[in-house]
């Protein structure tokens, strides 16, 4: 007998028929790590790889890329470990950052110790990107048997990096439609993530061109063509006696621009893997040790356990449970687009922990081919708005049932909101759903996800609101607004609105209308409560208005649906007041359902392994 929370079969199985297992989770020093052992059938190497992530939006964009590289390494017999820095991702908060950047570099050195324990390696290669290059360099002396460092798009000048983050952050906020008053002006921030002040102060003083000794005997610098400093850094390492190789970071901009439309630079991953595999090595002399059941991370009112579940343990996530007794249904968080399960700006982490303090457990996880969950053979590479994701949700509910954590309510934003509504139609174990800013209620067959994301027009209300801002006129005068694209999108929106007025009288007879009304009718007949939340001026309101009216009057025949519009909020719910609305909707939904018989406690906290 073992707790389903801690069930941990081997992660090394690779089969053309079965999905690859997700990496094996572990916890240490208040954070979460993911260990990837060599694939079954591959000769284990005495080299292992430790990943050192960038920070902020760049980390969100590279999360899946890191997983892909770890799988390529595993197939070559090379174990690896990737992890979250303290206070980031799924790690605990309330960190004392008085020691500055050492907090993160010390965590890297600690991770190296765990990697050596589990892999049995004789030597370690650190793979870094962005700010991770600074952290790897700082921690190098503390990493035993460090053989090489890979520097991908390294931050060479900390001062320049901080300035670039400020510009990058402003672009992100403006694309989200945030007003100047809503910009986070407290320190260094981007994508609702704020760098601790002590770390930012130290980063400003970093200049890797002034290091006086090589951090490792060997180095691979994967540089950007438009960054002379990348080549200068490679030359500096060479002058200090390191054996330095250089590669071009083809596709860097498409990797880090937006987690929704990231393009994986697979040739870079292949070149990196080949370079590491070609390093002098021997077959591993020590056996691989599985991390074993992950110890929960205990915080203020919650306990979190990183988990794997589903067919061949293919799905990766975090179970968050109340510390002092359960009082509501379990919330199943569904990821938005390709964001990792921590959520945009770690919003899902914050929501999960706040819910736990109210007695509400939750599971946040990456669906297949998103973040840390590998793809499923035979499925399309583009998983968003595809019915294949329904089985991911069903397997997550299977896991929650094994943990005796039913009933379950689904929650998600954007594509996660769409998935929650769609899977509620086919999965009777979903008791209710909270959907935030669903772009559509029905995905038109043949429609390109990329086209919707890249070329999708804003709502006319959004254009009107932006046009009235003085800052919009200033940006136009400075040439910061693509007026041609804006006019084209406005024309498209006007055209859609004109066409919509013509079709409005027949909306219930059109294929889309029949499908949407039929879906809402099904949920009503089954008694599934739906909380439908939109940010003011969100693009998804166009379809909502068309079928239900802007005042929601068309929902009168579906009393199970509770609509709400959040003023002064963007699509990602950046302002605090918007996230509070979401949190209260989750609490209200979870408290609607009485708890089922607590079999888990009656069996001493154990359920049979599958």
In the structure, what pLDDT confidence band is assigned to residue 606 with cuts at 50, 70 and 90? Answer: very low
| Both structure tokens of 25 | 């989770």
pLDDT at position 601: 38
In the structure, what pLDDT confidence band is assigned to residue 130 with cuts at 50, 70 and 90? Answer: very high
Residues 455, 464 contacting (CB under 8 angstroms): no
pLDDT at position 179: 84
pLDDT at position 577: 97
Residues 593, 330 contacting (CB under 8 angstroms): no
Is residue 608's pLDDT more than 90?
Answer: no
Smallest CA-to-CA distance from 118 within 52, 53, 67, 50 is with 50
Is residue 135's pLDDT more than 50?
Answer: yes
Least confident of 51-55, 330-334, 472-476, 566-570: 472-476
DSSP 403: T
How far is CA 332 from its chain centroid?
15
Specify burial of residue 181 (Cβ count, 10 A radius: 0-12, 13-18, 19+).
exposed
DSSP 204: H
**Interstrand relation of 79-83 and 31-36 (parallel, antiparallel or unpaired):** antiparallel
What ranges do the domains of the chain cover? 23-155+214-277, 297-443+511-590
pLDDT at position 442: 95
Q: How far apart are CA 415 and CA 540, in angstroms?
A: 11
Strand partners, 561: 530
pLDDT at position 63: 97
pLDDT per position as a tens digit, 320-363? 999 999 999 999 999 999 999 999 999 999 999 999 999 999 99
Tokens 């053309």, residue?
16
| Both structure tokens of 365 | 């996880």
Is residue 1's pLDDT more than 90?
Answer: no
What is the three-class DSSP state of 277? helix
pLDDT per position as a tens digit, 439-464? 999 998 888 888 887 766 454 455 45
pLDDT per position as a tens digit, 219-238? 999 999 999 999 999 999 99
pLDDT at position 287: 87
pLDDT at position 478: 52
pLDDT per position as a tens digit, 574-586? 999 999 999 999 9
Q: Does the 297-443+511-590 domain belong in CATH 3.40.630.30?
A: no
Specify burial of residue 280 (Cβ count, 10 A radius: 0-12, 13-18, 19+).
exposed
Least confident of 80-84, 109-113, 124-128, 177-181: 177-181
Tokens 């379950």, residue?
408
pLDDT at position 285: 87
Residues 407, 596 contacting (CB under 8 angstroms): yes
In the structure, what pLDDT confidence band is assigned to residue 424 with cuts at 50, 70 and 90? Answer: very high
Backbone dihedral angles phi then psi of residue 302, each to the nearest 5 degrees: -145, 160
| Both structure tokens of 241 | 């006696």
- Stronger pLDDT, 255 or 461, i.e. the higher one: 255
Mean pLDDT score of the chain: 90
pLDDT at position 487: 46
Residues 461, 541 contacting (CB under 8 angstroms): yes
Phi-psi region of 514 (alpha: psi -120 to 50; beta: other; left: phi over 0): alpha
Mean pLDDT of 147-176: 96
- Stronger pLDDT, 413 or 286, i.e. the higher one: 413
- Radius of gyration for the alpha carbons in the chain, expressed in angstroms and rounded: 25
pLDDT at position 469: 47
pLDDT at position 447: 87
Backbone dihedral angles phi then psi of residue 197, each to the nearest 5 degrees: -55, -40
Burial letters for 491-504: b for 16+ Cβ neighbours within 10 Å, e otherwise? eebeeeeeeeeeee
Is residue 486's pLDDT more than 60?
Answer: no
Mean pLDDT of 489-513: 61
pTM exceeds cut of 0.75: yes
Mean pLDDT of 235-262: 95
DSSP 345: G
Q: How far apart are CA 119 and CA 116, in angstroms?
A: 5
Q: How far apart are CA 226 and CA 594, in angstroms?
A: 59
Specify burial of residue 199 (Cβ count, 10 A radius: 0-12, 13-18, 19+).
buried
Mean pLDDT of 51-60: 98
pLDDT at position 317: 99
What is 23-155+214-277's CATH superfamily? Alpha/Beta hydrolase fold, catalytic domain (3.40.50.1820)
What percent of the chain lies above the pLDDT cut of 90?
78
Is residue 8's pLDDT more than 70?
Answer: no
Q: How far apart are CA 130 and CA 35, in angstroms?
A: 22
pLDDT at position 16: 67
Smallest CA-to-CA distance from 108 within 131, 126, 130, 88 is with 126
pLDDT at position 463: 42
pLDDT at position 259: 85
pLDDT at position 250: 97
Mean pLDDT of 296-316: 98
Tell me if 23-155+214-277 shares its fold with 297-443+511-590.
yes
Is residue 501's pLDDT more than 70?
Answer: no
Strand partners, 409: 331, 432
């Amino acid at each position: 007998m073992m707790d389903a929370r801690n069930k941990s079969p081997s992660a090394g199985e690779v089969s053309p028929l079965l999905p690859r297992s997700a990496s094996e989770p572990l916890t240490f020093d208040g954070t979460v790590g993911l260990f990837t052992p060599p694939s079954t059938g591959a000769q284990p190497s005495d080299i292992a790889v430790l990943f050192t992530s960038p920070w902020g939006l760049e980390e969100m964009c590279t999360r899946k890329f890191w997983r892909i590289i770890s799988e390529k390494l595993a197939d070559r017999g090379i174990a690896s470990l990737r992890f979250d820095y303290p206070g980031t991702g799924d790690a605990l908060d309330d960190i004392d950052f008085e020691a500055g950047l050492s907090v993160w570099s010390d965590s890297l050195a600690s991770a190296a110790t765990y990697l050596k324990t589990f892999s049995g390696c004789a030597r370690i290669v650190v793979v870094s990107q962005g700010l991770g290059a600074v952290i790897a360099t700082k921690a190098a002396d503390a990493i035993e048997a460090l053989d090489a460092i890979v520097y991908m798009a390294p931050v060479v000048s900390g001062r320049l990096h901080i300035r670039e983050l400020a510009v990058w952050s402003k672009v992100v906020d403006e694309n989200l439609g945030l007003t100047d008053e809503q910009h986070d002006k407290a320190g260094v921030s981007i994508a609702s993530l704020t760098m601790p002040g002590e770390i930012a102060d130290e980063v400003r003083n970093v200049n890797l061109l002034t290091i006086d000794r090589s951090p490792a005997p060997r180095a691979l610098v994967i540089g950007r063509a438009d960054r002379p400093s990348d080549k200068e850094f490679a030359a500096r390492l060479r002058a200090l006696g390191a054996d330095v190789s250089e590669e071009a970071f083809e596709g860097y901009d498409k990797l880090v621009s937006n987690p929704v439309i990231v393009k994986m630079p697979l040739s870079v991953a292949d070149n990196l893997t080949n370079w590491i595999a070609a390093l002098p090595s021997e077959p591993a002399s020590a056996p691989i040790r599985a991390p074993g059941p992950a110890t929960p991370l205990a915080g203020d009112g919650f306990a979190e356990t990183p988990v794997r579940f589903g067919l061949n343990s293919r799905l990766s996530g975090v179970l968050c449970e109340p510390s002092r007794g359960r009082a509501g249904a379990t919330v199943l968080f569904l990821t938005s687009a390709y964001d990792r399960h921590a959520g945009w700006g770690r919003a899902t982490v914050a929501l999960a922990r706040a819910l736990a303090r109210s007695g509400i457990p939750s599971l946040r996880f990456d669906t297949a081919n998103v973040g840390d969950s590998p793809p499923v053979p035979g499925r399309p590479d583009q998983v968003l708005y595809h019915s294949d994701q329904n089985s991911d949700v069903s397997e997550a509910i299977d896991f929650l049932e094994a943990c005796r954590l039913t009933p379950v309510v689904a929650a998600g934003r954007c594509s996660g909101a769409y998935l929650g509504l769609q899977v509620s139609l086919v999965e009777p174990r979903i008791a209710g759903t909270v959907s935030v800013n669903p772009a559509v209620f029905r995905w038109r067959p043949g429609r390109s996800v990329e086209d919707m994301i890249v070329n999708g027009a804003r709502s006319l209300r959004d254009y009107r609101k932006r046009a009235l801002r003085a800052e919009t006129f200033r940006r136009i005068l400075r040439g910061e607004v693509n007026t041609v694209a804006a006019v084209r999108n406005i024309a498209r929106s006007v055209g859609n609105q004109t066409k919509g007025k013509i079709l409005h009288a027949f909306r219930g007879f059109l294929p889309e209308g029949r499908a949407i009304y039929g879906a809402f009718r099904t949920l009503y007949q089954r008694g599934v409560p739906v909380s439908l939340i939109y940010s003011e001026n969100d693009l998804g309101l166009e379809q909502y208005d068309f079928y239900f009216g802007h005042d929601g009057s068309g929902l009168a025949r579906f009393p199970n649906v509770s609509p709400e519009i959040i003023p002064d909020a963007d699509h990602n719910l950046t302002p605090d007041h918007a996230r509070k609305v979401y949190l209260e909707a989750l609490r209200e939904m979870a408290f609607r359902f009485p708890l089922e018989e607590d079999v888990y406690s009656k069996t001493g906290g154990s359920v049979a392994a599958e």
